Amino acid sequence: MIEQRRVHSMTLREQALAELRTLLIAGELKPGLIYSATAIATQFGVSHGPVREAMLTLVNEGIMEPVRKQGFRVVALSDADRENIADLRTMLEVPSMARLAGSPRVRARADDFAAIVEKFFVAAEAGDLIAFFAADHEFHLGLLRLLDNPRLTDIVGTLRDQTRQYGIYELAVRGELVATAQEHRDILDALLAGDAPAVEALMHDHLRYLRWSGWSSPDLGAAPDVR
């Protein structure tokens, strides 16, 4: 059952979209199932319109698909989808991150990114996947934004959204959240040291989970204790 949340105005569509992403990460919206915008809007405590608009945004991102007269279904990724996304993310993220090695912009924000890395460890130790996902988004997309290429950031963000409800859940099941937190620290250290080859190698290893063959649909209620 979807936990009831109340959406407060900011922009209702954006807030509803953030809440839907949280539900996807938490496994409360499951691949293959159909959800009514009206029912979710009622649980959020807002009108139908902003939730429907948020769901259409997820449709444009390939995360949901409309089902005539029923609602929206969370898209389940096939093995081919997973491999294609893995290829795209490797082609885009690895060289882009390597370009940031030694960047004055990264060095100017070293303390900010170090603080984000600490969020990974806190979330990993607590078994808090929502906080871990949030730190992952903040770290990787925050770095990519330093390249001043918003199209790149948007594309990578969409690809990450399409896979994250599977991949990092699998990291939790495998008990690898703390090790993954350390990977982020190593990537940041290599960036600050200006070591582009090390950044490339670390990023290739960091994206390894995208090619795991045993991805399961997230069901965090049944997940083992990951602390």
Q: What is the per-residue pLDDT for 174?
A: 63
Q: How far is CA 51 from the centre of its chain?
A: 20
Q: What is the per-residue pLDDT for 170?
A: 61
pLDDT by residue, tens only, the chain of 227 residues: 555 554 444 688 888 988 898 788 767 888 889 999 999 999 999 899 999 999 999 998 888 999 998 999 998 878 788 889 889 999 999 999 999 999 999 999 999 999 999 999 999 988 888 888 889 989 999 999 999 999 999 999 988 877 765 555 666 666 778 888 999 999 999 999 999 999 999 999 988 877 654 444 444 333 333 33
Nearest to 176 by CA among 111, 132, 214, 116: 132
95 near 212, Cβ under 8 Å? no
Joined tokens for residue 77? 């990724």
Distance, in Å, from the CA atom of 10 to the CA atom of 7, rounded to the nearest integer, reads 9
Distance, in Å, from the CA atom of 216 to the CA atom of 205, rounded to the nearest integer, reads 21
Q: What is the per-residue pLDDT for 4?
A: 52
Q: What is the per-residue pLDDT for 210?
A: 75
Q: What is the per-residue pLDDT for 226?
A: 31
46 near 54, Cβ under 8 Å? no
* E strand intervals along 115-169: none
Q: What is the per-residue pLDDT for 172?
A: 64
Q: What is the per-residue pLDDT for 176?
A: 75
Distance, in Å, from the CA atom of 218 to the CA atom of 22, rounded to the nearest integer, reads 13
Q: What is the per-residue pLDDT for 227?
A: 30
- Residue count (the chain): 227
Residue 226, burial from CB neighbour count under 10 angstroms (0-12, 13-18, 19+): buried
Distance, in Å, from the CA atom of 160 to the CA atom of 155, rounded to the nearest integer, reads 9
